[in-house]
Amino acid sequence: MQEFGSQLSGLPCPEPDCTGLLLSQRPLDYRAPDWSCQQCGQPQSPATVVELQRQQGRHLAGIDTSDPDHVIAFLAERRVPDTGIVAVQLKAGLNLFLVMVDGYKLHELSDEHLKVKEKMCRDLLSVMDKLKIGNTRLKGLNVFDLHQTLSEKMRRIKLEEVWRPIIILGWKLL
């Protein structure tokens, strides 16, 4: 099942040294969903798939979502597929955290967190495009969020352009 190519239900392949994604070839037939890896081609039993799904749930339960750096580090480890439902849920939560929470409002974000926010916005919009959800309120909010993020990025670049010659001049005068 690829959900129009979004691969939301994809699971990490359990074969050693394989970084592929397990996907169901017959998602509508619940008696024989037929999961196999899109990279190594190895089929997996329903019991293995259920265990992998539980493992994804345990990963999600173990994450401290009140610490954005913990979520960012977890996503970078790639223990959950980047396009899977767990990662998408974490990205949506992180995207909201990096603008809604005191101390993490847009103008307060570090340059690194601003970069992460831009990537989260783009990743989420890409999932929405693949799911063909159309011009909904949710998509509109995400487009606006990306616009605000890019405006903040431009504001910082312009500030740096204004200050850089002044700082250099300051150094010359010292």
Binding footprint of Zn ion on the chain (CB under 5 A): 13, 15, 18, 20, 37, 39-40
Q: Which of 84, 47, 36, 172 is nearest to 74 (CA)?
A: 84
Residue whose pair of structure tokens reads 């010659």 in the numeric block: 165
**Shortest Cβ distance from residue 63 to Zn ion (Å)?**
25
Shortest Å distance, C-beta 34 to Zn ion: 15
Q: Which of 90, 34, 91 is nearest to 57 (CA)?
A: 90
Closest to Zn ion by CB, 39 or 126: 39
Least distance from C-beta 53 to Zn ion, angstroms?
16
Beta-bridge mates of residue 12: 21
Q: State the nearest-atom distance from the C-beta of 48 to Zn ion, in Å.
A: 12
Nearer to Zn ion, 12 or 68 (CB): 12
Smaller CB distance to Zn ion: residue 39 or 136?
A: 39
Residue 15 Cβ vs Zn ion, minimum distance, rounded to whole Å: 4
Q: What is the DSSP letter of 82?
A: T
> CA angle 133-74-156, nearest 5°?
75
CA 54 to chain centre: 20
Check: CB of residue 121 under 8 Å from CB of residue 132: no
Bridge partners, residue 85, by sequence: none
By beta-carbon proximity to Zn ion, the closer residue of 56 and 142 is: 56
Instruction: Rank residues 14 and 27 by Cβ distance to Zn ion and give the closer one.
Output: 14
The edge-to-edge listing of strands for the beta sheet with 21-24 is 11-12, 21-24, 35-37, 43-44
